[in-house]
Structure 1
Amino acid sequence: MEMLPAVRPAETAVERPSERGVSLRGTPPASTPTALLELLADAGAGPDVLKATRSWIAKRPSEHSRTAYAKDAAWWLAFCAAAGVDPTRARSTDADDYETALRATGLAKATRGRRLAAASSWYTYLVRADVADRNPFEGMERPSVSADDSPTRGLTPKQLATLLAYAREHESTRTYALLTTLATTAGRIGSVLALTYKGLGHDQGHRVADLVVKGDKAKRVVLVPLAVEAIDAHLDGRQLRPDDYVFATRTGRPMDEPAAFRLIRRVAKAAGIPHHDALSPHSLRHSYATALLDKGVPLADVQDAMGHADPRTTRRYDRAAGKLHRSPSYRMQEELAKAMETAGH
């Protein structure tokens, strides 16, 4: 059985997770599957561990999913390195310390739960591959995320319009096109950043974009005129090949998610959005759902646009849910009044 070198220090004192010298926020210790393997190799992992990890990553159905798992798993490896823990010999107490450290950072429950799930998934595969004895995350109580509420900070339609108007006047065509696409398609940031030129097209008289979503599937979304104009202006005069990225950097690679995160906060601050420091790319997706549900767009239509398998997920974005002015009793009263009027004749 392949094991990483044992590097656990003598336990002469209890050390709090916050004192272990590792930051669990900001740029991930590894941002790609290759970088994750390099992180493991630097920690002294042998060929069996590297091979198993490579296979675990390869099982993910899409490049976006593989990258996301690599990023989330990397935080645990960084924590282990700072704590002097051999990951293949980690104990349940080490996993609990990691969960405690994540909680101390103030990260959202969903983010903490995702990182813990990635680490647990990795161990499940290592045990199956006979390169680890146990999964220290097995049986752990993970953060519960309410099905009825979304912690994401959104924007009102007026604030969103202010953000886009500022970007159109003061930012690059790429920035304006990216923000407009996010605001009008409800696309996840990873899917939008991965959009290539061949993903743009026409269907039934509509301009459309094919976004790669969970499960490595393509979801066709409508590009409304506002987004079409922004994208066309951004791509105007460029000689693009089918696999070129629409929102590419100067090197031709797609913009990464941390850069998009920083961009949105920077533009929101410049545009005078009060809570700019609490926004993220998901805020635009959140704002899309909230605005449409407030306007009375049927839940099923918003659910389809968001790509949610469960309508309860969509309901989390309905800030007016349960408000008395939205009570269907008023609609029932209208129908009864009409029927009673007819019955009286």
Structure 2
Amino acid sequence: MNNASEQLLSDVVAVLSDKLPEFNAERTKSILSAVISKYHIKKVEENEPHPDSDEKLSMFLSAKRLEGLSPITLAGYELELRIFFRYVTKRMESVTAADIRAYLGQFDHLKMSTVGRKLSVLKSFFGWLTAEEIIPRDPSARLKTPKQEKRLPKALTVAELEMLREACRTVRQRAFIEVLYATGCRLSEVFGMNRAAINHQSMSCRVVGKGNKEREVYFSFKAMYHLNRYLASRTDDGEALMVTERRPYRRLSRRGIQREIDVIAQAAGLARKVSPHVLRHTFATLTLNNGAELVAVQELMGHSDPQTTLRYARITEERKREQHKKYLVQ
């Protein structure tokens, strides 16, 4: 037997000796020793994740992968759960609501929306374990998601959008701005775009969004013009729509795309942070304010719920006055 097995045997015999007055410690130890010798036992240290967590995590991720969750979502789930396992080093059926509260309580420096996402992952994980009858109860069931700030990045004005365009110094930069704005795509969707997926005749492209859902997005004439200039300037044969500037050419990372937008925004002299999501928000706001139907914008953005699309729209005072004059029955 290894040291962990001997320690387990001694601990079990000690507990039985304490509880049972007539207990024969030596005989019981001899009998149990023969049984335990057939197993390899490893002691779980207090400061390391319980081995049980790896097994449960693997099962959970496999199930969610079959449900069609994207690799990005699955990677996010795994990261959040491994952080939790390092803090709560118990078997999953032993985790309590108090453990989860204590874990989330250490993130008081983070925004409520971030803490809410962490809790959402835990609810999904423990809810699944309970539904599959792997654990008897869900420790996260009675925990309420914290009230989140209903703030979204403010859309760029038409003037600010033009400032971004004017600040572009390369055909690559201009193509990035036009593609992100015209399609209203998420950063992950633009990151995954390939050259071959561009339909130049219909000026469209199919992208894979949240929940592994595919949809068609469209380019403007301006976006196609600058995109074609960018593609014509490239000397590589890579499949990615956006690639690095230096050899070996490869698909530009999400961080690389964000960094390029940051460079353009700084050159434009815009005081606030501009991100791909700000350009997505700008697409939604300007198209809705210009008279686009809510359902159409919802489909273009890949939202399953129209309420999500409405959160992106902030109608201008000028547009409100125009709508009032146009539609009020006198």
Quick check: TM above 0.5? yes
> 1:7 & 1:84 partners in 2: Cα distance?
12
Shift of 1:316: 1.5
Shift of 1:103: 4.8
From the superposition, tell whether residues 129 and 73 of structure 1 become closer, same or farther in structure 2 (CA, over 3 Å): same
> 2:327 & 2:191 partners in 1: Cα distance?
45
Alignment of 1:139 with 2:142, yes or no, is yes
For 1:53-107, what per-residue CA distance to the aligned partner results, in whole angstroms no more than 9, with x for missing partners?
Answer: 4413422415xx23223224413422442x3534734321232234334452126
Task: Find the counterpart in structure 2 of residue 211 from structure 1.
Answer: 207
> 2:198 & 2:324 partners in 1: Cα distance?
44
How large is the Cα RMSD of the aligned pairs?
3.4
Pairing of 1:52-63 with structure 2 (within 5 A):
52-62=59-69
Shift of 1:306: 2.1
Gaps of 5+ in 2: 1-41
Shift of 1:185: 0.8
Pairing of 1:235-274 with structure 2 (within 5 A):
235-236=231-232, 237-238=234-235, 240=237, 244-249=239-244, 254-274=251-271
Task: Find the counterpart in structure 2 of residue 191 from structure 1.
Answer: 189
> 1:216 & 1:90 partners in 2: Cα distance?
32
Pick from 87, 90, 94 the counterpart of residue 95 of structure 2. Answer: 90
User: 1:264–1:280: 8 Å Cα contact kept in structure 2?
Assistant: yes
Pick 1 or 2: higher relative contact order, CA cutoff 8 A, min separation 6.
1
> 1:253 & 1:132 partners in 2: Cα distance?
44
Task: Find the counterpart in structure 1 of residue 74 from structure 2.
Answer: 69
Shift of 1:184: 0.9
> 1:5 & 1:181 partners in 2: Cα distance?
55
Task: Find the counterpart in structure 1 of residue 126 from structure 2.
Answer: 123
How many positions carry a matched residue from both structures? Answer: 284
Task: Find the counterpart in structure 1 of residue 6 from structure 2.
Answer: none
Structure 1's consecutive aligned runs of 4 or more residues displaced over 6 angstroms after TM superposition are 321-324
Gaps of 5+ in 1: 10-41, 337-345
Pick from 182, 196, 218 the counterpart of residue 222 of structure 1. Answer: 218
State the AA in 2 paired with 1:152: P
> 1:292 & 1:270 partners in 2: Cα distance?
26
Shift of 1:187: 0.8
TM-score normalised according to structure 1 size: 0.69
* Percent of pairs with identical residues: 24
Shift of 1:186: 0.5
From the superposition, tell whether residues 309 and 45 of structure 1 become closer, same or farther in structure 2 (CA, over 3 Å): same
Shift of 1:229: 2.4
User: 1:73–1:119: 8 Å Cα contact kept in structure 2?
Assistant: no
Task: Find the counterpart in structure 2 of residue 30 from structure 1.
Answer: none
Pairing of 1:1-345 with structure 2 (within 5 A):
7-8=45-46, 43=49, 45=51, 48-49=55-56, 51-62=58-69, 65-81=70-86, 83=87, 85-86=89-90, 88=92, 89-106=94-111, 109=113, 111-127=114-130, 132=135, 134-145=137-148, 150-167=151-168, 169=169, 171=170, 173-202=171-200, 205-236=201-232, 237-238=234-235, 240=237, 244-249=239-244, 254-276=251-273, 279-320=274-315, 325-326=320-321, 328-333=323-328, 336=330
User: 1:57–1:69: 8 Å Cα contact kept in structure 2?
Assistant: yes
For 1:164-213, what per-residue CA distance to the aligned partner results, in whole angstroms no more than 9, with x for missing partners?
Answer: 3223x1x5x444322321111111111111111221114xx422111112
> 1:235 & 1:329 partners in 2: Cα distance?
45
From the superposition, tell whether residues 113 and 77 of structure 1 become closer, same or farther in structure 2 (CA, over 3 Å): same
> 2:117 & 2:251 partners in 1: Cα distance?
24
TM-score normalised according to structure 2 size: 0.71
Structure possessing the higher radius of gyration over alpha carbons: 2
State the AA in 1 paired with 2:121: A
> 2:219 & 2:45 partners in 1: Cα distance?
54
From the superposition, tell whether residues 161 and 328 of structure 1 become closer, same or farther in structure 2 (CA, over 3 Å): closer
User: 1:300–1:311: 8 Å Cα contact kept in structure 2?
Assistant: yes
SS in 2 for 1:206: coil
